[in-house]
A and B are shown apart, each in its own frame.
Chain A
């Protein structure tokens, strides 16, 4: 279990600062087509549809499929358009080849751990994302099917204010997720109990990830950054066992018939 804000280094009592490690979930803005006008108008509409959540929100720019195409002038223009649409680019995803672009834009690089999540959109022309930088080799894995990460299994309840993140794997909670708690996974999220808090599947962008729970009452559900806020659970699924998946970028909730 990883919790946000665990103290890594505490400065002396009475010092003017305190240096802590913090984990923040950020939205990743992945650019699919480098059509600046289309992008700006679509993005503006999207921000306008949920201004409380999106206006001024920090995002990490993910240029993966486009990184080697774009010249730096174009990139600057792109960031400008994103700002005009209402989002703030605060960093770039550390894709292979992104260093130069990040340097030109004066943005820090943040690691998106793609080795474990695998890119979903079938764009076979770009195997780049799967490449493992040599300096960052993985420790030897235990025997088992290649690429299979065991799920993170936690007993419930996950209580208000707690955060759980299963990096690069599925998350299984055998119990309740309370209102005000957050459960996130790069893979699927399974809750064998009531889901009252926030659930985020595909946290690194896997659009195939799904959310399952025995009784639905989530505040927020998100798959690969496509999220829905529920002021109250829709009547047809409230309190029911449901499956949540992405259907062409739309979050679909359907009751599980067991």
Chain B
């Protein structure tokens, strides 16, 4: 039986979909049979970041409504043959998701794949609730700023009380934090929260720190998840996070300001 991991945050725009796409590719690269599911019904994005937007024929809602089989709706990734994408519907809205329908699809995926990644929409409404309800583990994506931290706290609270695991007495969802848009230079200057600050407020361990980087945007725009860019710090940070999610020990990188070279110190930059 596979494991269901939800990528969630509460707040929008913190990097959930970017993270889902990179983690999915990372798990696939490590040999895990992986599927990533877009729960953001009506605002379909994951397929763009994964670079398969032109191959979406059937989507999550079609499967729930019985318009097609799950197999027909799964889009095989072109880079990894052990990676699939289940796209969200762009035309329906979040009410198209029913708890029974999602349960059926999730359980079917769980039987087939090692890892089922659920890319949650922002907010705490039905789509987000259903994405987290079935999860075994959660990766809560946080930006190092107060409103994102507050929203993550709220989401962690909802997760603790309302999940299938909690209702079936299987113990709580295992929680991880993933810090994105981290800028060690700004932390040092004191105008951004540090890893330790966020860990202390939320009481959850950080599984990865992804530095703020222009590589992320260009990767997203070209449909190649940033984890596949082995030159990019952000890509390496995601690879570290995948390793830690698989139980490996990795020292934290990219949490200290870069040492400036002689010329940079002389001339700025």
Contacts and interface: CB of A to CB of B under 8 A. Distances in A.
Interface residues of B, number: 12
Interface of B: 150-151, 153-154, 156-158, 160-161, 201-203
A181 B156 CA distance: 12
Contact of B153 (A1, A160, A175): A160
Contacts of B158: 161
A169 B158 CA distance: 25
B153 A179 contact: yes
B153 A178 contact: yes
A180 B161 contact: no
Interface in A148-179: 156-162, 175-176, 178-179
Given A157-B156, A157-B202, A180-B150, 9 more contacts: A157-B153, A157-B203, A158-B157, A160-B153, A161-B153, A161-B157, A162-B161, A176-B203, A178-B153
Interface in A114-134: none
Contacts of A68: none
Contacts of B161: 1, 3, 162
A159 B124 CA distance: 14
Contacts of B151: 160
Contacts of A179: 150, 153
A162 B201 CA distance: 15
A180 B150 CA distance: 8
Specify which of B153, B154, B156, B158 lies most central, judged by the most chain A CB atoms within 10 Å of its CB: B153
Secondary structure dominating the interface of B: helix
A178 B160 contact: no
Nearest to A157: B203
A4 to B, nearest CB: 12
A92 B132 CA distance: 42
Contacts of B157: 157-162, 178, 181
Contacts of A160: 150-151, 153-154, 157
A178 B153 CA distance: 8
A161 B153 CA distance: 8
Contacts of A176: 203
A180 B154 contact: yes
Closest 6 CB pairs of A and B: A159-B157, A160-B153, A160-B154, A161-B154, A162-B157, A159-B153
Nearest to A197: B153
B153 A156 contact: no
A175 to B, nearest CB: 7
Interface in A1-29: 1, 3
B153 A180 contact: yes
30 contacts: A1-B161, A3-B161, A156-B203, A157-B156, A157-B157, A157-B202, A157-B203, A158-B157, A159-B154, A159-B156, A159-B157, A159-B160, A160-B150, A160-B151, A160-B153, A160-B154, A160-B157, A161-B154, A161-B157, A162-B157, A175-B203, A178-B153, A178-B157, A178-B201, A179-B150, A179-B153, A180-B150, A180-B153, A180-B154, A181-B157
